[in-house]
Structure 1
Amino acid sequence: MSGQMLQCKRLDERRTPFINPTLRKDMASLFSSVKAPYKSIMSASDIQGPTRGTCKSWRDVYPELGAQVERITAPLGRGIAWEGTEIWAYKQRPANIVELLAANVVRYPNREAYVFHPSGQRLTWRQVGQQVQRVAARLKRDHGFEKGDRLCLLTLGCPEYVIAYMAIVSLGGIAVPVNLGLTAEGLAAQINKVSAKGIVVSPDIWNDKLESVRGNLHSVESAFMVGDVAAPGTLGFAELNREGQESFSQASIDEWDLCAISFTSGTTGVPKGTMAMHINALGCAQNIVHAAKGLSVDDINICMPPLYHNTAVYTDFMPALLTGGKCVVMRAFEPLQALKLIESERATWAVAAPIMLWMMMNHPDFGKHDSSSLKKILFGGHAASETYINQLQQCFSPVAMVNGGSVSESTALGFALPTEDAIRKITSCGLATPNTDIAIFDDHGNELTEPNQIGEVAYRGQQTNAGYWDEPGKTSEVFRKDGFVLSGDWAKIDEEGYLWLLDRKKDMVVRGGQNIYCIEVENKLYLNTAILRAAVVGVPDHLFSERLKAVLVLKPGHSITAKQVREHCAAHLAPYEVPEYIVFTQALPTNAAGKTLKPPLMDHWGEADSSASARLAAFCASMPEALLDKPQLKWDGNALTPREALIAVQSNNPLGQRVAEMVTRNGIVGMTKPNEARFR
């Protein structure tokens, strides 16, 4: 669920000061052997003997799930990086997404399939089937779309998104959801990367971003605009979906055909597209059904993440399609509206980022709305705290409460912590899903089989993607020939077979479920002529898990304010990629090779001296005014805003003396970090 929002968090080596002290010595030894921060010494193609995967699986713990999976072999000659490999897969699995939709139309023609908010549009399965049929037919007949063609989707949650996704897949084509938070150049890069034949775009994205780069979209033959009026240079999606019966010759589609491409940027900033097959999408959907302790046609999903996100597509949209149940699609998440929809639609299950659920539970009007129907809750993106789990229990009394995730290359749900272990193993990632193997490797490709050995975690199974689109070199670095896909995460497996993520090899920050690659932000900062050196790191945070921080050295004779830095970043980056903390310093720490040392920067605020008062003053000065009054500092059940903490320390009252002691002993970050294993 990843990540991306339910995607497993990739932790980087600058977090070592917060790792459990008992692991610190082993981690230091491990880091010393790593030659580059992004990839292992080994190539993914370097296989050192058979690999069994020592992580316990849900199929081991729950015999009824073990009886539902079997070993199958990936076919040869289909472009699958790990062809010929045996994997676990569900025995009773749909042949492909298209047949699943057709079955729902036949079985449940008059049942509601989708409800869209805020438009209020409702579609039955019969209506969905009819619209998908005519849109697919017209894409093929009038615009030349064939099997394998790519259609990029650039809208928020709306009927056109769902119909377009299913229509292109029905042709044997490939749906390409695109992150709408990207800049115009970022959107264009992803569209061009897949050589998209067409795009489906909302008016705001077209007018604000794509129209300015339309001339650079050389492969795009057709741009379909949603809404009532098509802008010049586009075609109305409504024309594709006009009334009338249409038919087309159905392409041969099987479970090993591609259905979607999802992008995950590397640290170079060049987008990589993970190639998902029908078997991947449906395997993830079946995992969600089991993790939620069963979903049926009578269950109602509320889809809160944006539909361009893997979480929404693979853990909300696809499981609802699998069961034939209703899916309530939010155009954009808003906590009060989510509560109202749960009440009015009697939603029974959801998969969401933890922050979404947190905002709902802590909304002042939470108690005014009946959310008692929501009994199956899945979330992920980072470890949960006991307080958070207890609050979920208190607010919803769920029968299923599951924290899970994976990497984009393994679709969305490769591991999950069973509800029964929510407290007992609270900072663990749990067990491999029924159709997944999880293994730990050293830097030379050898599997580590003894408990608590630290290495790079990898996933293999029904959800493992085919590879990266048009990136054979990068595919060979990550996708092993034995079917395991390397995650870039340091991890261990304990004596009970539970997975624990410890630190990440990739220089990435995850803020509220959104992946931010530090080098991409640094590259944009360097576009400002006043900046000489830039280093971007993540600062632990109780709300978002991490907030972004930029530490800057200015060129001699140049000046720039923190506000101007944020404005510069906002012009080149998505909103969530704009650093919230801005620190100016005289120099960045480096090693003997001149490489920036990031661990010391996490708790460096450009303070004039080391006193608690000076450090807190610099901390306050680094952030926007709006953050000064947020309770970011917590310890032993206490919470303070940065402004309150600074006033208390400057006043030298008993509270201030206690805060000063905490700052001196553990640093400011000691009070901003949540109770997550990776920050210990």
Structure 2
Amino acid sequence: MTPTAERVRSIPAVLARSARRHPEHIAVDEGELRLTYAELESRSRQLGKALLALGLAPGERIAVWAPNGHRWLLAALGALMAGAVLVPLSTRLKAAEAADILRRSGARVLFSVGEFLGSYYPELLAGQVLVDLERTVVIEQARDGDSSWEDFLASAEAIPDAVLDARIETLDENSLSDLMFTSGTTGYPKGVLCAHGQNLRLFDNWGETVGLGADDRYLIVNPFFHAFGFKAGWLAALIRGATILPQRTFDAEDVLRRVEQDRVTFLPGPPALYSAMLEHPRRGDFDLTSLRVAVTGAASVPPVLVQRMGSELGFDSVLTAYGLTESCGLATLCRPGDDVQTVAGTCGRPLEGIEIRCVDGEGRALPSGEVGEVLIRGFNLMRGYFNDAQATAEAIDADGWLRTGDVGVVDERGYLRITDRLKDMFIVGGFNCYPAEVERLMMEHAAIAQVAVVGVPDVRQGEVGKAFVILRPGHDLTADALIAWCRQHMANYKVPRHVEFVRSLPLNASGKLLKRDLRSA
């Protein structure tokens, strides 16, 4: 392992170290705009000073609601320099979902994109009660009357560098760095707290294992608001000194073009990303010879896909991984040189300092080869759920083991294979989707009496939602109309792609819903 993460105490300190080591090396490349590591640190410091000018106290929450881009990075890094806890918001969230996270996190400042995907994002929050939110800064295309990026940064002049340096010096390995909201079986998102030190240690190890280095040009398609795009994305790149190429939205042809144009070497993503690249009719028109490393996960990976990623896309190394938001996003990882069947059939083995085991229904450890619930223990476990001690205690036992809710098996080599999920969560194009949350949102429709959602196989996305709906008496509704309504009220990946209207739902003797019967329906 490189000494980077061992010698520094915080994410801002890692950025400062990278800026000292190679100040003229390109840190962020967005085509017409390029920032060296020295410039990235300098601009992030300006943002941090602007936050201190607001009187920001250590530990206060700062939210970012925007697509991948250099200003997302500046907002995040500046917030961390100011001692804030970063709250990433998915650009897929609808107004009520985003407002719920802003309220529950107590975010004081929101950095929001302006026009994006046909909406002006700050306007989406109109009418929402957000008592803690003092300021919304529109990072691009601000409308008249809104706080613009430039206006906000102007306030940094009032804060001396020494004041920001003093705030950065207060940070150590145990200082909280991020609050990422993940849904659960209750149907309500839970805030996962992680610290600077564990993130640095984990993703320095990840970067070394997968071979990420300063010469790499890392196209980050995974959203910055997701652990895959944040921690295994730009954070890992900063730790290792690589060049970050943010991808604003996913389009297969645009990715192929950028690989050729920007000589991309490093391209992690969900299996759907590589499938889209492979199946694109013009793939052969692009020079993909620069591609070197792919890291995937979050869904089953067919061996034929791994083979084609090497033979047709040209990757020298294809690796798979497994983790949860509650484990800082990572727990196990394949190693370079693992054969195709290992990469496709397992999620790898634990990284240094992390343990996994499978247990039976009574919590007893099972020998290798036997299927049980997957438990994780190590330095990478969250510091707890935000303002929810009970949920934290239910997730992590007295011996420090995190219950994942996933069912798997560990082989004699220590490699993990996920076989099922105790929780009903399914994965849509790399995004975790929790039926209880979707059901809660759908129950707000006036025509719905009961609803149950399960994941079903899908060729393109891996899995998608299917909703079984009981209508209220006297109401009429079509599947297309309900799906359209869902698109207006929840993030796209949560929207069920299939709807079946039923007269009843299968229940056991105690009245518990039998979702296994729905999956086989």
- Which TM-score tier does this pair reach, normalised by the shorter chain? over 0.9
Instruction: Name the counterpart of 1:130.
Output: 42
In 2, Cα distance between equivalents of 1:488 and 1:210: 38
Q: After TM superposition, give the deviation of residue 255 of structure 1 in Å.
A: 1.0
* 1:198–1:183 Cα change, 3 Å: same
What are the superposed Cα offsets for residues 70-113 of structure 1, whole Å, 9 maximum, x if unpaired?
A: xxxxxxxxxxxxxxxxxxxx984532211111112222222211
In 1, Cα distance between equivalents of 2:452 and 2:255: 37
What are the superposed Cα offsets for residues 227-253 of structure 1, whole Å, 9 maximum, x if unpaired?
A: 253453x42122233596951242211
Q: After TM superposition, give the deviation of residue 529 of structure 1 in Å.
A: 3.1
SS of 1:388's partner is: helix
Instruction: Name the counterpart of 1:94.
Output: 8
In 2, Cα distance between equivalents of 1:227 and 1:188: 20
Instruction: Name the counterpart of 1:276.
Output: 194
- The sequence identity of aligned pairs, in percent, is 27
The yes-or-no answer on 1:159 pairing with 2:70 is yes
Write the letter of the residue equivalent to 1:177.
P
Instruction: Name the counterpart of 1:438.
Output: 356
SS of 2:92's partner is: coil
Contact between 1:152 and 1:196, CA under 8 Å: does it hold in 2?
A: yes
* 1:255–1:136 Cα change, 3 Å: same
The yes-or-no answer on 1:218 pairing with 2:135 is no
Contact between 2:6 and 2:201, CA under 8 Å: does it hold in 1?
A: no
Instruction: Name the counterpart of 2:26.
Output: 112
Q: After TM superposition, give the deviation of residue 470 of structure 1 in Å.
A: 1.0
* 1:223–1:530 Cα change, 3 Å: closer
What are the superposed Cα offsets for residues 577-636 of structure 1, whole Å, 9 maximum, x if unpaired?
A: 1111111223222211222222222243xxxxxxxxxxxxxxxxxxxxxxxxxxxxxxxx
Write the letter of the residue equivalent to 2:130.
L
Instruction: Name the counterpart of 2:330.
Output: 413
Matches within 5 A, 1:40-189: 92=6, 94-116=8-30, 120-141=32-53, 143-189=54-100
Q: After TM superposition, give the deviation of residue 204 of structure 1 in Å.
A: 3.2
Instruction: Name the counterpart of 1:582.
Output: 499
Please provide the CA RMSD for this pair. Answer: 2.2
Contact between 1:115 and 1:326, CA under 8 Å: does it hold in 2?
A: yes
Contact between 1:303 and 1:351, CA under 8 Å: does it hold in 2?
A: yes
Q: After TM superposition, give the deviation of residue 225 of structure 1 in Å.
A: 0.8
Q: 1:486 aligns with which of 403, 410, 427?
A: 403
Q: After TM superposition, give the deviation of residue 568 of structure 1 in Å.
A: 2.0
Contact between 1:352 and 1:378, CA under 8 Å: does it hold in 2?
A: yes
Instruction: Name the counterpart of 2:347.
Output: 429
* 1:108–1:374 Cα change, 3 Å: same
The yes-or-no answer on 1:254 pairing with 2:172 is yes
SS of 1:475's partner is: helix
* 1:375–1:257 Cα change, 3 Å: same
Q: 1:331 aligns with which of 223, 232, 248?
A: 248
Q: After TM superposition, give the deviation of residue 295 of structure 1 in Å.
A: 2.4
* 1:153–1:208 Cα change, 3 Å: closer
Contact between 1:279 and 1:463, CA under 8 Å: does it hold in 2?
A: no
Instruction: Name the counterpart of 2:379.
Output: 462
Q: After TM superposition, give the deviation of residue 437 of structure 1 in Å.
A: 1.2
TM-score, normalised via structure 1 length: 0.72
In 2, Cα distance between equivalents of 1:164 and 1:180: 16
TM-score, normalised via structure 2 length: 0.93
Aligned length: 512
Contact between 2:99 and 2:125, CA under 8 Å: does it hold in 1?
A: no
Q: After TM superposition, give the deviation of residue 314 of structure 1 in Å.
A: 0.7
In 2, Cα distance between equivalents of 1:145 and 1:91: 27
- Structure 2: state its 5+ residue gaps: none
In 2, Cα distance between equivalents of 1:527 and 1:216: 19
SS of 1:102's partner is: helix
Q: 2:108 aligns with which of 197, 200, 204?
A: 197
Q: After TM superposition, give the deviation of residue 410 of structure 1 in Å.
A: 0.4
Matches within 5 A, 1:253-402: 253-292=171-210, 294-402=211-319
In 2, Cα distance between equivalents of 1:107 and 1:124: 12
Write the letter of the residue equivalent to 2:39.
Q
SS of 2:403's partner is: strand
Instruction: Name the counterpart of 1:477.
Output: 394
Contact between 1:401 and 1:422, CA under 8 Å: does it hold in 2?
A: no
Q: Larger radius of gyration, structure 1 or 2?
A: 1
- Structure 1: state its 5+ residue gaps: 1-64, 70-89, 605-680
Matches within 5 A, 1:602-617: 602-604=519-521
The yes-or-no answer on 1:542 pairing with 2:454 is no
In 1, Cα distance between equivalents of 2:312 and 2:181: 35
What are the superposed Cα offsets for residues 501-559 of structure 1, whole Å, 9 maximum, x if unpaired?
A: 12211121211111111122222332333333322111122322212111222334432
Contact between 1:349 and 1:376, CA under 8 Å: does it hold in 2?
A: yes
Q: After TM superposition, give the deviation of residue 288 of structure 1 in Å.
A: 2.5
SS of 1:396's partner is: coil
Contact between 1:406 and 1:412, CA under 8 Å: does it hold in 2?
A: yes
Q: After TM superposition, give the deviation of residue 486 of structure 1 in Å.
A: 1.6
Contact between 2:122 and 2:136, CA under 8 Å: does it hold in 1?
A: no
Write the letter of the residue equivalent to 1:154.
W
In 1, Cα distance between equivalents of 2:511 and 2:321: 38
Between the two structures, name the one with larger relative contact order (CA 8 Å, sep ≥ 6): 1
